[in-house]
Amino acid sequence: MTSLRIAAALAALSTALFVFRPDARTVAGTEEPAAGAPAPDFAGADHWLNSPPLTLDGLRGKVVLVEFWTRECINCLHVLPHTKALYEKYAGKGLVVVGVHTPEYDEERDPAALREAIDKYGITWPVAVDNSYRIWNAYGNRYWPAVYLIDQNGRVVYRHVGEGNYDGTEQRIRQLLDKSQNT
Protein backbone atom coordinates (compact mmCIF):
# COMPACT_ATOMS: atom_id res chain seq x y z
CA MET A 1 0.00 0.00 0.00
CA THR A 2 1.43 3.37 -0.92
CA SER A 3 2.04 6.01 1.71
CA LEU A 4 -0.61 8.18 0.01
CA ARG A 5 -3.22 5.41 0.43
CA ILE A 6 -2.19 4.86 4.03
CA ALA A 7 -2.49 8.56 4.77
CA ALA A 8 -5.93 8.67 3.13
CA ALA A 9 -7.07 5.61 5.09
CA LEU A 10 -5.83 7.10 8.37
CA ALA A 11 -7.56 10.41 7.61
CA ALA A 12 -10.84 8.61 6.87
CA LEU A 13 -10.53 6.55 10.04
CA SER A 14 -9.78 9.58 12.23
CA THR A 15 -12.77 11.41 10.71
CA ALA A 16 -15.01 8.43 11.41
CA LEU A 17 -13.75 8.18 14.98
CA PHE A 18 -14.30 11.92 15.51
CA VAL A 19 -17.83 11.90 14.10
CA PHE A 20 -18.95 8.79 15.99
CA ARG A 21 -16.97 9.33 19.20
CA PRO A 22 -19.30 9.24 22.19
CA ASP A 23 -19.23 12.53 24.03
CA ALA A 24 -17.86 12.39 27.56
CA ARG A 25 -20.90 14.36 28.75
CA THR A 26 -23.38 11.77 27.58
CA VAL A 27 -24.40 8.79 29.63
CA ALA A 28 -23.65 5.41 28.12
CA GLY A 29 -26.77 3.70 26.90
CA THR A 30 -28.80 6.83 26.18
CA GLU A 31 -30.35 6.99 22.75
CA GLU A 32 -32.28 9.50 20.71
CA PRO A 33 -35.98 8.86 21.24
CA ALA A 34 -37.65 7.18 18.30
CA ALA A 35 -40.21 9.26 16.44
CA GLY A 36 -43.51 8.72 18.17
CA ALA A 37 -41.86 7.78 21.46
CA PRO A 38 -42.94 9.59 24.60
CA ALA A 39 -40.85 12.73 24.98
CA PRO A 40 -38.60 12.93 28.02
CA ASP A 41 -39.67 15.54 30.55
CA PHE A 42 -37.62 18.57 31.54
CA ALA A 43 -36.81 17.10 34.95
CA GLY A 44 -33.29 17.85 36.00
CA ALA A 45 -33.03 21.42 34.75
CA ASP A 46 -30.65 23.32 37.00
CA HIS A 47 -33.07 26.24 36.86
CA TRP A 48 -35.36 28.10 34.45
CA LEU A 49 -35.19 31.53 32.87
CA ASN A 50 -38.20 33.43 31.47
CA SER A 51 -40.59 30.94 33.07
CA PRO A 52 -41.32 28.86 36.12
CA PRO A 53 -40.35 25.19 35.65
CA LEU A 54 -42.33 23.48 32.89
CA THR A 55 -43.40 19.84 32.58
CA LEU A 56 -44.69 17.92 29.61
CA ASP A 57 -47.83 17.02 31.57
CA GLY A 58 -48.45 20.74 31.99
CA LEU A 59 -47.95 21.27 28.25
CA ARG A 60 -50.31 18.46 27.20
CA GLY A 61 -52.49 19.66 24.31
CA LYS A 62 -49.77 22.01 23.01
CA VAL A 63 -47.23 21.55 20.26
CA VAL A 64 -43.78 21.93 21.84
CA LEU A 65 -40.59 22.87 20.02
CA VAL A 66 -37.58 21.90 22.13
CA GLU A 67 -34.37 23.52 20.96
CA PHE A 68 -31.00 22.46 22.35
CA TRP A 69 -28.57 25.36 22.06
CA THR A 70 -25.67 27.07 23.74
CA ARG A 71 -24.86 30.76 23.80
CA GLU A 72 -21.45 30.62 22.09
CA CYS A 73 -22.42 28.24 19.27
CA ILE A 74 -22.41 30.14 15.98
CA ASN A 75 -24.76 27.60 14.38
CA CYS A 76 -27.19 28.09 17.28
CA LEU A 77 -27.07 31.84 16.73
CA HIS A 78 -27.78 31.35 13.02
CA VAL A 79 -30.89 29.29 13.87
CA LEU A 80 -32.12 31.80 16.46
CA PRO A 81 -33.92 34.19 14.04
CA HIS A 82 -35.87 31.24 12.64
CA THR A 83 -36.86 30.01 16.10
CA LYS A 84 -37.88 33.55 17.00
CA ALA A 85 -40.03 33.82 13.86
CA LEU A 86 -41.76 30.50 14.64
CA TYR A 87 -42.39 31.61 18.21
CA GLU A 88 -43.84 34.96 17.13
CA LYS A 89 -46.00 33.40 14.41
CA TYR A 90 -47.36 30.35 16.23
CA ALA A 91 -47.22 30.94 20.00
CA GLY A 92 -50.75 32.33 19.93
CA LYS A 93 -51.93 29.24 18.03
CA GLY A 94 -50.68 26.61 20.49
CA LEU A 95 -46.91 26.36 19.93
CA VAL A 96 -44.68 26.44 22.99
CA VAL A 97 -40.95 26.95 22.44
CA VAL A 98 -38.62 25.65 25.14
CA GLY A 99 -34.93 26.43 24.82
CA VAL A 100 -32.65 23.97 26.55
CA HIS A 101 -29.32 25.66 27.15
CA THR A 102 -26.73 22.91 27.50
CA PRO A 103 -23.19 24.29 27.64
CA GLU A 104 -20.45 23.05 25.38
CA TYR A 105 -17.70 24.95 27.22
CA ASP A 106 -17.24 25.58 30.95
CA GLU A 107 -17.65 29.36 30.58
CA GLU A 108 -21.14 28.79 29.15
CA ARG A 109 -22.28 27.51 32.57
CA ASP A 110 -22.32 31.04 34.03
CA PRO A 111 -25.97 31.96 34.72
CA ALA A 112 -25.31 35.72 34.65
CA ALA A 113 -23.65 35.49 31.21
CA LEU A 114 -26.51 33.31 29.98
CA ARG A 115 -29.05 35.89 31.22
CA GLU A 116 -27.11 38.60 29.36
CA ALA A 117 -27.14 36.51 26.17
CA ILE A 118 -30.89 35.87 26.47
CA ASP A 119 -31.48 39.60 26.84
CA LYS A 120 -29.05 40.47 24.02
CA TYR A 121 -30.69 38.06 21.57
CA GLY A 122 -34.26 38.89 22.61
CA ILE A 123 -35.14 35.37 23.73
CA THR A 124 -38.48 35.64 25.51
CA TRP A 125 -39.54 31.98 25.57
CA PRO A 126 -38.78 29.64 28.48
CA VAL A 127 -35.18 28.45 28.80
CA ALA A 128 -34.23 25.40 30.85
CA VAL A 129 -30.64 25.65 32.09
CA ASP A 130 -29.18 22.18 31.63
CA ASN A 131 -25.65 22.55 33.04
CA SER A 132 -25.77 18.98 34.34
CA TYR A 133 -26.76 17.48 30.94
CA ARG A 134 -29.78 15.73 32.43
CA ILE A 135 -32.23 16.85 29.73
CA TRP A 136 -29.57 16.44 27.01
CA ASN A 137 -29.02 12.83 28.08
CA ALA A 138 -32.73 12.10 28.51
CA TYR A 139 -33.23 13.07 24.85
CA GLY A 140 -30.10 11.22 23.77
CA ASN A 141 -29.07 14.45 22.08
CA ARG A 142 -25.59 14.90 20.62
CA TYR A 143 -25.77 18.16 18.66
CA TRP A 144 -26.02 21.93 18.91
CA PRO A 145 -28.42 23.11 17.65
CA ALA A 146 -31.05 20.40 17.63
CA VAL A 147 -34.80 20.84 17.37
CA TYR A 148 -37.38 18.31 18.54
CA LEU A 149 -41.12 18.67 17.98
CA ILE A 150 -43.47 17.13 20.49
CA ASP A 151 -47.10 16.61 19.58
CA GLN A 152 -50.12 17.39 21.72
CA ASN A 153 -49.96 13.90 23.25
CA GLY A 154 -46.37 14.30 24.46
CA ARG A 155 -44.70 12.27 21.70
CA VAL A 156 -41.57 13.17 19.74
CA VAL A 157 -42.67 13.38 16.12
CA TYR A 158 -39.81 15.29 14.46
CA ARG A 159 -36.13 16.06 14.91
CA HIS A 160 -33.69 18.22 13.00
CA VAL A 161 -30.05 18.86 13.85
CA GLY A 162 -27.94 21.76 12.66
CA GLU A 163 -28.95 24.69 10.55
CA GLY A 164 -31.46 24.58 7.72
CA ASN A 165 -34.73 22.82 6.90
CA TYR A 166 -36.57 25.83 8.28
CA ASP A 167 -39.48 25.40 5.87
CA GLY A 168 -39.77 21.71 6.72
CA THR A 169 -39.84 22.46 10.44
CA GLU A 170 -42.49 25.14 9.98
CA GLN A 171 -44.56 22.84 7.77
CA ARG A 172 -44.49 20.14 10.46
CA ILE A 173 -45.54 22.69 13.11
CA ARG A 174 -48.46 23.81 10.92
CA GLN A 175 -49.54 20.19 10.41
CA LEU A 176 -49.50 19.54 14.13
CA LEU A 177 -51.38 22.73 14.94
CA ASP A 178 -53.95 22.07 12.19
CA LYS A 179 -54.44 18.57 13.56
CA SER A 180 -55.28 19.95 17.00
CA GLN A 181 -57.75 22.46 15.56
CA ASN A 182 -59.53 19.73 13.57
CA THR A 183 -60.01 17.35 16.49
On whether the CB atoms of residues 68 and 103 are closer than 8 A, the answer is: no
Burial class from Cβ neighbours inside 10 Å (0-12, 13-18, 19+) for residue 122 reads exposed
Q: Which residues of the chain have pLDDT under 50?
A: 4, 6-30
Selected from 3.40.50.300, 3.30.360.10, 3.40.30.10, 3.10.129.10, the CATH number assigned to the domain covering 3-181 reads 3.40.30.10
Q: Quote the CA–CA distance of 181 and 177 in Å, as a whole number.
A: 6
pLDDT at 11: 45
Compute the distance between CA of residue 172 and CA of residue 127 in angstroms, rounded to an integer. 22
State the pTM of this model: 0.82
Counted residue by residue, the chain has a size of: 183
Task: Specify the pLDDT at position 12.
Answer: 45
User: For position 78, what pLDDT does the model report?
Assistant: 98
Domain boundaries along the sequence of the chain: 3-181
